[in-house]
Structure 1
């Protein structure tokens, strides 16, 4: 659990207070979830963590695409740093 909290902390402030939010959900799905004792808030929060993590990763890749391509070209052309020092 500690690993999960630490991982989430990098994405958002886990100590921030809870805040009410209005969401629209299929009425029958919500009814079934309640019948089965599904914690709607917990499920939504976990899904949002995953969605935010995925969106943040994609944004980072988009923002750093040119640098990544330049580095890959450098490695392809000149090899990795320390290649000449390796004995394996």
Structure 2
């Protein structure tokens, strides 16, 4: 599937500042739309959907989570020997 073309209007001063800073405007625009969609999707999710997604994430990452827990049990928390409390 191809990409849709989108025409937007942006304050010229903002465009100039973005160009001065080396911001890739098409990539930044895409990232902004992706973020807005994710926020809106999250805002519309039910608690049951959030719980389902959390379970799915935990299932997908179970191996890494287990490895992390084992490493902490074996080596402790990084910097633990420097704690004074």
TM-score, normalised via structure 2 length: 0.49
TM-score, normalised via structure 1 length: 0.47
Flag the structure with higher helix content. 2
